[in-house]
Chains A and B, each alone.
Chain A
Amino acid sequence: MPPVASPSAPPDTILEVQNLVTTFETDAGRLTAVDGVSFSVRRGRTLGIVGESGCGKSVTALSIMRLLPQPMGRIAGGRILFEGRDLAALSPDEMHKIRGGRIGMIFQEPMTALNPVHTIGQQLSEVFLIHRTKSRAEAWLRSTEMLHKVGIPAPEVRMGEYPHQLSGGMRQRVVIAMALACEPAVVIADEPTTALDVTIQAQILELMQSLQRAMGLAIVLITHDLGVIAETCNDVVVMYAGRVAEAGSVTDIFDQPSHPYTRGLLDSIPRLEHPRKTRLNVIEGMVPSLRDLPVGCRFQNRCPYRIDRCATGPALEVVAAGHEVACHRWRELPTR
């Protein structure tokens, strides 16, 4: 029997992560990098996963793609439902067909995502040869079209060039072309613009949004940049130390942040419209190590609203339709 989506998932859900637990075997024992994370990704929309280093956002992406470092990394629990199948339970061969086919991916550093000894044309054609066609000529033709689609000037010339001959922005366009080559339903983008300059970042974000509109793509965008989240995402998941702290629509998160961590993050970024040289709000302390997580709420040692009860739970509570928060005291936080 095919796995079924949870009844609470929105109707146009295309990818649903249910209670994902991902662990790593290390010299110091088993570490749980992702601990019971759930979210749904909807057709034609962008879901942002935001959090600081070590919060588990990239491990979540790698779990969905089944690209966890082997043999240390392992999906230890939960399901990843996509087109009637549980990706967490697929064989490596079955997953190989989905990856790069129905699910595309874009990584932070295009130089490491591309093979330096093969031409752009060879690498892009390979995607078509694995998933779509047996004819090399056709694969080449469709690759050239794809480069054109992502806004690379003179695509015929670029097809014969090597990654090092391209600028960072052009390389990221190639990576996007590879991710979208087989018209995937979902694209997972892990910090796709972090390595780029801001004027180039603007070009790439604009490109991703226009391709999304044209193809009805669902995008999972992983980033630490709240500005990128605000400008490109419909839905947001805020992660902290392996768990979901808060999830909701982009307006829920930015207008009605209900977790002290979300509030702390939003308040600590310098903003252009703020008065200069004033002290910024800070979140005291630092993210706990996965080896030494506090019992109960993982944010408690940095939280200004901590009470004894924070040593247990907290589970996600519904703030409003589609807006959930894992904090015992969300109702008592000062209004903003």
Chain B
Amino acid sequence: MDTPTAAPLLELDNVRMHFPVREGVFLRSSRACKAVDGVSLTLRAGETLGLVGESGCGKSTLGKCIVRLHQPTSGKIIFEGKDLATLTSRALKPHRRQLQMVFQDPVESLNSRHTVGEILSEPFEIHAVGDATSRRASVLALLQKVGLPANAAERYPFEFSGGQRQRIGIARALALNPNLLVCDEPVSALDVSIQSQILNLLLDLQRELGLTYLFIAHNLAVVKHVSDRIAIMYLGRIVELASADAIYQSPLHPYTRALLSAIPRPTPHGRPERIVLQGDVPSPINPPTGCAFHPRCPHATDRCRLEAPSLRPAPHLPGHTVACHYDLP
């Protein structure tokens, strides 16, 4: 959905998540790991926003802030007219139903001692929805929705394959009819033939239920396939945000360009000229001065070493924003 008129469902305003680093003899907290360092974003109702970046860029931390598995250090998370970032857990509870998360590892995120039926009825119990009979009916409806047989309810998570377990994780997230699903690397632990089954399921569910997704992943090809817009993250900040097609066809930030060119393409015939970045991702504990990407950037100047660029609209490209001082050709 590329319509900019779609109503905002969730707004992030300058969200920061700094974790104290305890070190030295007395484990005093002298420095901070700036996992998320000033992210502002709008999620529109019914869209999929892809969030891409490499390990340690803060994409999962940001997802966990949104569902309040982390309480952000500062900034606002506006959802249904309330700032989730500062709500108490009691005040948060009614909103939690609307915000659900699908995790990467379906083995670790499902309690192995509960049957699938128990796992799926838990959300109804926590939020005191329905009685035993209606919960049973809801569990069966959920199983059907995600393509699992009804007898799955009596079985335990270990009896299922990775792809089926991810279906259970998705069913659990859908139990309370949420508006927004934060999907954190939902297919990266799966084999390719199973990955496509789960991606299709997520696309079908979105169409059927009008869901909004924040889709977090490191695989740009997967993200591009499911997303309407894509945000690229580097070291705690968003460096570029645009429609999925624009990110692929006309990436502006040098990091986005390098990331795209680094993806191995499944064809033996020619590939675009590869930009191989030098060096590693720096640590969010001691990030570089100025633009965090400058030590690896082939275009870096003195200005980049001193001054951090903020996210600005790209000239002549509506809806395309980039955090770079320069308009690169």
Contact = CB atoms under 8 A, between A and B. Distances in A.
Interface string A48-63: 0000110000000000
Contact of A269 (B54, B163, B192, B203): B192
Contacts of B224: 270, 272, 276
Nearest to B277: A199
Contact of B266 (A169, A205, A227, A279): A227
Interface stretch (A31-39, A110-118, A260-268, A325-333): A260-268
B225 interface: yes
A270 B196 contact: yes
Given A198-B54, A199-B259, A269-B196, A276 B266 contact: no
Interface in B196-213: 196-197, 199-200, 203-204
Interface string A261-301: 00011101111101011011111001100000000000000
Interface string B275-309: 01100110000000000000000000000000000
B267 interface: yes
B192 A202 contact: no
A281 B260 CA distance: 23
Nearest to A227: B264
Nearest to B263: A198
Given A268-B193, A270-B224, A230 B218 contact: no
A206 B276 contact: yes
Given A197-B54, A269-B196, A277 B266 contact: no
Contacts of A268: 192-193, 195-196
Contacts of B227: 276
Contacts of B225: 270-271, 274, 276-277, 280
A251 to B, nearest CB: 5
A280 B191 contact: no
B101 to A, nearest CB: 22
Given A53-B191, A277-B203, A197 B55 contact: yes
A210 to B, nearest CB: 11
Given A254-B268, A279-B203, A226 B259 contact: no
Contacts of A201: 262, 264
B264 A225 contact: yes
Given A197-B281, A224-B191, A270-B224, A280 B276 contact: no
Given A228-B264, A272-B248, A276-B225, A264 B274 contact: no
Contact of A230 (B191, B196, B266, B276): B266
B129 interface: no
Given A52-B191, A198-B262, A272-B224, A203 B200 contact: no
A250 B266 CA distance: 10
Contact of B267 (A202, A230, A283): A230
A231 interface: yes
Contacts of A150: none
A270 B225 CA distance: 6
Chain B interface helix/strand/loop/mixed? helix
Consensus secondary structure, chain A interface = helix
B260 to A, nearest CB: 8
B214 interface: no
B271 A231 contact: yes
B265 interface: yes
Interface in A185-242: 197-203, 205-206, 224-232
A227 B199 CA distance: 19
Given A202-B262, A250-B268, A269-B266, A282 B245 contact: no
Given A53-B191, A231-B264, A279-B203, A202 B276 contact: yes
B238 interface: no
B148 to A, nearest CB: 13
Contacts of A274: 225
Contacts of B269: 251
Contacts of B204: 279
B194 A203 contact: no
Nearest to B204: A279
B221 interface: yes
Given A201-B262, A272-B248, A272-B263, A280 B199 contact: yes
B152 interface: no
A170 interface: yes
A312 interface: no
Contacts of B248: 272
Interface string B221-233: 1101111100000
Contact of B199 (A52, A229, A270): A270
B67 interface: no
Nearest to A271: B221
A167 interface: yes
B261 to A, nearest CB: 8
Contacts of A269: 192, 196, 221, 266
21 contacts: A197-B218, A199-B54, A203-B277, A206-B276, A224-B191, A231-B265, A231-B271, A266-B266, A271-B225, A272-B224, A274-B225, A277-B48, A277-B225, A277-B226, A279-B200, A280-B199, A282-B196, A282-B200, A283-B196, A286-B161, A286-B163
